Amino acid sequence: MSEKYIYDLSEGDASMKSLLGGKGAGVAEMMRLGVPVPDGFTVTTQACIETMNNGGTWPAGLRDQISDALARFEERAGRKLGASEKPLLVSVRSGAVVSMPGMMDTILNLGISDESVAAVAAEANNERFAWDCYRRFIQMYGEVVEGLDAHIYEDALTAMKQRKGASQDTDLTAEDLKELTTEFKQISDDALGGAWPSDPREQLMRAVEAVFNSWQNPRAKVYRKANHISDDLGTAVNVMQMVFGNRGETSATGVCFTRNPSTGENALYGEFLTNAQGEDVVAGIRTPRPLIEMKEVLPQAYGELVDTMHKMETHYRDMQDMEFTVENGKLYMLQTRNGKRTAAAALKVASDLVDEGLIDKEEAVRRIEPDQLDQLLHPAIDPGQSATPITKGLPASPGAAVGAAVFDADTAAERGEAGEPVVLIRFETTPDDIHGVLQAQGVLTAHGGMTSHAAVVARGFGKPCVAGATDIKIDTEAKTMTVGGVTVHEGDTLTLNGSTGEVFNTALKLIPPRLNEDFLKVVGWADEIRDLGVEANADNGTDAAKARELGAEGIGLCRTEHMFFGDDRLPAMHEMILSENDEQRQVALDKILPMQQSDFEAIFTAMKGLPVTVRLLDPPLHEFMPDLVTQALKVQEMELKGADPTKLAEERRTLAQVKKLHEQNPMLGTRGCRLGMLYPQIPDMQARAIARAALAVLDREGETVDLQIMVPLVHLRQELQRQREIVVAAVDDELDKAGQKLDYLVGTMIELPRAALVADQIAQEADFFSFGTNDLTQTTLGISRDDAENGFLGWYEAQGVVKRDPFATIDVDGVGQLVRMGTEKGRAANPKLSVGVCGEHGGDPDSIAFFQSVGLDYVSCSPFRVPIARFAAAKAKL
């Protein structure tokens, strides 16, 4: 006997979702509970999966099982598919395990034919209705099964309405629709170059096949990718008796939510249309009416609907999204599922359901989709407006930005500082652009991915960012950007949607972010549950304050390189880099020290005694210098123009130094602690600036500092040993001079594979480890994170070679193994070692689940991801 591929609706229930799909299981469950639903049967997802695996061939026995199920169904209904007397009409509906609203196909009214149409009309005593069903069927069958273009039907319908002077579909008479049906048949035959099977049984088989295939249609694939739904789940197919919302004014079809999916408010929410079928409500063919009006039009069905909504919500203990049809005053439910909702609604519903005693706090936390909380933290585009984007890039940092287009960081900084909202457009951004980014509302780049510099920085500042919009052509000279025939000039208004990657060339209306009571309440429950600490990556006092406001329990990563940029600092930095001996270098560093000190003071003050982990200088020195080509051209031009000899000499000296610093692979070159090894004066200066800042804050009444100093890019025990010596000597010297005492820790980043492999050796010198998973991913995979996404990695993702971007979600099998090994070896060698993560993965829910399983102490992420991490950490524990 072959496998059971079919379940009658009466055999199923909600627990069989993975086999029957969400829709099939939901309808079966309603039937079980005595809610009126049309009868039918479900073809399992297993049948679809086997078909896919067989290259489109159905598994043995499926066809016979469908025939048998249909026979049983016809028996129960007392009707026969396509018969000239008492015909059975069915819908053939897709239904995936995870709901993918509107992504796959459904065919209605199957069973109507030249044989059965008269009987349908006679039974309903409504000729018009029968032809309405027929023409709808031909169109759906043509589109879904035969793959014909919707336009050919829509054009014919429009032409017909014009001919008849009808403004709406409902104005067409029975005669008109009959004529339209004939026309539709002709159009289909012409397009196909032959007639299609007119036997409804054969049509049913082909419809099932088409629904299977719709799992693979492009929009379904895109939807799955965006929502990380596996491609091999397959869809079930539900064959159900038709109920008719298009039988006249006592019939209707509609959709409803048991609560408001946009605000979460506990109020009925929905729309309906009388004398309509299927997608008419959502498709916008006619403007649907608010559900409350149904109370007047169809009072009895309305009452039953409200009762059913209540019943199903209580049953599932969650907000339901339902579909219904009323046929001649009688209500039928066609679908129920947990409703999709905004973050604000999710929080309100969860919190209300706890108050109503339907769920407990843990369940409430379990139901929050952490990633979705981003919506709450950034101004969002008001959804009640329509606009067409001029292009689309990667949704690199969520939220919406409206401002004037500018094409360089200086202009962005200048105009931004003057209070003008600007959007910074760059081919890609470098740390040099930071001032522009800071003053811009948002950032748009043509190059770079989700973890590109622009994206990381933008997220860090909570700035919306669309990255890697590869279609745009930027002309920095002319200060224009061109895409799809549209040219944007400097000063033109743009709107970025960092949550979708869309770019608009108008000012869209925004709505402000809000962290409301519901949020605070539910996140409080998450905090009670979680074990993982949540800290933030912050480089200045403002960000630190923001991070604390969002619930960060410390700063897990304070990058110091940003402190070297800025008009007042860069010259001193250049001086330091151009120094020819230690004395000169010390003079330059002495100028930088007080500036760094004041930055650290601001951070310590903002953090009020919570841990602050300061990382010593990390990037290669060339990043602070002009680029090689630019400098060479500058010198050349000065030579040609016969410039002032002293000035020329100066520029030549810079050029020589730039050449000297040039490296083929700077990311694998002289950076991180390697700088501190070659130039011990740098960590010495930084350690003193940190210590002096701490002392200054400690001097103030009631203030404390929890200080941790972190050495980057270590791969040898000797590196950490030496750097530690330098840091400890400097800090202790400062403390001694001040006659003060302060406990502090010195630790390291683990961001090179070797460091993880010899973590036991390194742990001898470390008080803490922080996995820098950005670099660790880059170095373990041998993939440059700044180039990969626009190159082969993007292609890999599109082709399904890799499931997830390893820079966004940790590669558990590879990089994850190093994290696990590094943690275990480190702790074995040094039981007091505290271990955290400070890469972008620290704010990614799936990665957080992994870090919880490894038993890390904390994660650190961008301030704006802190609330997300708090929820994700709690969910990882549940």
* Burial of 832 per CB tally in 10 Å (0-12, 13-18, 19+): exposed
381 — phi, psi (to 5°)?
Answer: -70, 130
Q: Beta strands 252-257 and 235-241: pairing type?
A: unpaired
- Residue 118: in which H helix or E strand, if any? helix 117-124
Determine if residue 559 is labeled as part of a ligand binding site. yes
Does residue 335 interact with ligand ADP by CB under 6 A?
Answer: yes
Closer by beta carbon to Mg ion, 618 or else 767: 618
Does residue 108 interact with ligand ADP by CB under 6 A?
Answer: yes
Which one of ligand ADP, Mg ion, none is in contact with 772 (Cβ closer than 5 to 8 A by kind)? Mg ion
Which one of Mg ion, ligand ADP, none is in contact with 334 (Cβ closer than 5 to 8 A by kind)? ligand ADP
Does residue 381 interact with ligand ADP by CB under 6 A?
Answer: no
Contacting ligand ADP (CB under 6 A), which of 11, 74, 279, 414? Answer: 279
* Burial of 485 per CB tally in 10 Å (0-12, 13-18, 19+): exposed
Does residue 93 interact with ligand ADP by CB under 6 A?
Answer: yes
Least CB distance to Mg ion at residue 672 (A): 7
Does residue 321 interact with Mg ion by CB under 5 A?
Answer: no
Q: From the candidates 256, 465, 838, 861, which is the catalytic residue?
A: 838
Closer by beta carbon to ligand ADP, 94 or else 597: 94
Binding piece for ligand ADP, criterion CB under 6 A, among 91-99, 284-292, 601-609, 733-741: 91-99
Does residue 109 interact with ligand ADP by CB under 6 A?
Answer: no
**Within 13 A of 118's CA, how many CA atoms are on the CB side?**
4
> What is residue 338's three-state secondary structure?
strand
Binding piece for Mg ion, criterion CB under 5 A, among 415-423, 653-661, 769-777, 827-835: 769-777
Contacting ligand ADP (CB under 6 A), which of 9, 27, 242, 454? Answer: 242
| CA–CA dist 333, 258 (Å, integer) | 14
Residues 6 or more apart whose Cβ sits within 8 Å of residue 717:
758, 761, 762, 764, 765
Least CB distance to Mg ion at residue 817 (A): 19
Total number of residues shown for the chain: 878
**Within 13 A of 708's CA, how many CA atoms are on the CB side?**
25
| CA–CA dist 91, 109 (Å, integer) | 6
Beta-strand ranges (E) seen in 275-416 are: 289-290, 320-327, 330-338, 380-381, 391-392, 394-397, 400-406
Which one of ligand ADP, Mg ion, none is in contact with 278 (Cβ closer than 5 to 8 A by kind)? ligand ADP
Least CB distance to ligand ADP at residue 47 (A): 17
Number of residues in contact with Mg ion under rule CB under 5 A: 4
DSSP characters for 10-46?
Answer: GG--GGGHHHHHHHHHHHHHHHHTT-----EEEE-HH
Q: Is 558 a catalytic residue?
A: no
> What is residue 380's three-state secondary structure?
strand
Does residue 449 interact with Mg ion by CB under 5 A?
Answer: no
Does residue 596 interact with ligand ADP by CB under 6 A?
Answer: no
Closer by beta carbon to Mg ion, 83 or else 668: 668
DSSP, res 112: B
- Alpha-helical (H) ranges within 562-616 are 570-578, 582-607
| CA–CA dist 464, 374 (Å, integer) | 11
Which one of ligand ADP, Mg ion, none is in contact with 495 (Cβ closer than 5 to 8 A by kind)? none
Least CB distance to ligand ADP at residue 294 (A): 15
Q: Which residues, numbered 21-50, are part of the site for ligand ADP (CB under 6 A)? A: 38
Biggest distance spanned by C-alpha atoms of the chain: 104
Does residue 866 interact with ligand ADP by CB under 6 A?
Answer: no
Which one of ligand ADP, Mg ion, none is in contact with 87 (Cβ closer than 5 to 8 A by kind)? none
Q: From the candidates 453, 574, 622, 715, which is the catalytic residue?
A: 453
Does residue 278 interact with ligand ADP by CB under 6 A?
Answer: yes
Least CB distance to Mg ion at residue 101 (A): 7
Tokens standing for residue 367: 């139901």
- Alpha-helical (H) ranges within 642-706 are 645-661, 673-678, 681-699
Contacting ligand ADP (CB under 6 A), which of 62, 220, 240, 440? Answer: 240
Q: Is 838 a catalytic residue?
A: yes
Catalytic center residues: 453, 838
Instruction: Name the site residues for ligand ADP (rule: CB under 6 A).
Output: 38, 91, 93-94, 101-102, 106, 108, 240-243, 253, 278-279, 323, 325, 334-335
Binding residues for Mg(2+): 751, 775
- The residues that touch Mg ion, with contacts defined as CB under 5 A, are 335, 751, 772, 775
Binding-site residue positions:
559, 615, 751, 772-775
